[in-house]
Amino acid sequence: MQSFKLARDFLQDAVHGLRILRKNPVVTGISIVTLALGIGATASIFTIVNAVLLKPLPYKEPDKLVWLTESLPEEPDHNVSWLDLQDWKRRVRAFEIMAGYADNTFTLTGRFQPKVLNGAYVTADYFPVMGVPPLMGRTFTNEENVPGGAANVVLSYRLWQQDFGSDPRIVGTNIKLNARSVTVIGVMPASFGDSIRSDVWLPLEQYAAKAYFTNRSLSWFVHSVGRLRPGASFEQAHSEMDVIANALAREYPRAIAQPGSECNSSPPTLPGRRGPFCCC
């Protein structure tokens, strides 16, 4: 009886509502559009939150990753000098491994219409730092990440699937990026490129201007990421980086006007994942 009463009341309310809406067609249209937009917005917000906040980062032990930038008086989140990065790698003890990367856009040509891709120039240590092996092929070696080295590229799973039809023979083939022929040496797993919005990775040392490797005051849009050693804490890494930053400022006073470092436990490209930060 209770279920019957609820059903009857619902039917009466529905009929009453329809009569009102029929008498006011403008209000009806606005109500339906508002409801649709509300549902759409809710779904969109959940998708963004799910991708950015709820899903774990697709890296090995992501809590061990620390993103590092240099800090200047006028710019607290500054890019990294190549020479400073090399000194960090030699002197710091809290990090097991450290890498550099520079976000960039690339134009894929030779296949239908030209397509603009997001990607990054990376050092050979980049993928080992992230702790994610390729799905197919391999990633870069120190031997090829040098000026004049082999022109190679690593693809995201998304690009491999959408633009190359999931071709299992993609490794070893040539594609054109920014009008340059490069050889595909690997494809990353599905979740990797999605999380950092990249479709291609190329060797950083092959593309940076020569002056970047000799001038400590040049940063060339490079950021750094490191993996903490087992047993090392974020606080220890932060303290070490502060000591190194001050030491480098004393050693190179003309190149480093004021020392500073910043470290972040989440990549700067992922909004909403800001965490502890360490800067030099």
pLDDT bucket at 160, cuts 50 / 70 / 90: very high
Same domain, 7 and 133: no
Strand partners, 107: 116
Same domain, 113 and 7: no
Same domain, 97 and 30: no
Question: Average pLDDT, stretch 145-157?
Answer: 91
Question: Average pLDDT, stretch 144-164?
Answer: 91
> What is the residue type of 115?
K
Residue 264 · residue 238 · CB < 8 Å: no
Among 109, 112, 67, which Cα is nearest to 88's?
67
Domain count, the chain: 2
Among 173, 82, 63, 94, which Cα is nearest to 121's?
82
Would you say residue 147 has pLDDT above 80? yes
Beta-carbon count within 10 A of 228 CB: 20
Would you say residue 43 has pLDDT above 50? no
Lowest pLDDT segment from 31-40, 120-129, 208-217? 31-40
pLDDT bucket at 185, cuts 50 / 70 / 90: very high
Same domain, 97 and 41: no
Same domain, 46 and 96: no
Structure tokens at 170: 């993609």
pLDDT at 163: 93
- Which helix (H) or strand (E) segment holds residue 203: the answer is strand 200-203
Q: Is the dihedral of CA 80, 87, 154, 192 positive or negative?
A: negative
Same domain, 9 and 97: no
> Each residue of 5-21: pLDDT tens digit?
444 554 555 545 555 54
pLDDT bucket at 153, cuts 50 / 70 / 90: very high
Query: Helix axis angle, 82-91 relative to 234-251, nearest 10°?
Result: 120
The DSSP string of 7-52 is HHHHHHHHHHHHHHHHH-HHHHHHHHHHHHHHHHHHHHHHHHHIII
The rounded mean pLDDT for the chain is 75
The DSSP string of 114-131 is -EEEEEEEE-TTHHHHHT
Query: Helix axis angle, 2-23 relative to 25-49, nearest 10°?
Result: 120
pLDDT at 12: 54
Q: Give whichever of 29-38, 50-59, 143-152 has the largest mean pLDDT.
A: 143-152
Same domain, 124 and 76: yes
Q: What percentage of the chain reaches a pLDDT higher than 70? A: 65
Question: Average pLDDT, stretch 124-149?
Answer: 92
Same domain, 129 and 177: yes
Same domain, 112 and 50: no
Same domain, 12 and 98: no
> Each residue of 214-271: pLDDT tens digit?
888 776 678 889 999 999 988 898 889 888 888 888 888 766 544 445 555 444 443 2
Would you say residue 171 has pLDDT above 70? yes
Q: Domain of 169?
A: 62-279
Same domain, 72 and 21: no
Same domain, 134 and 243: yes
Beta-carbon count within 10 A of 210 CB: 8
pLDDT at 7: 47
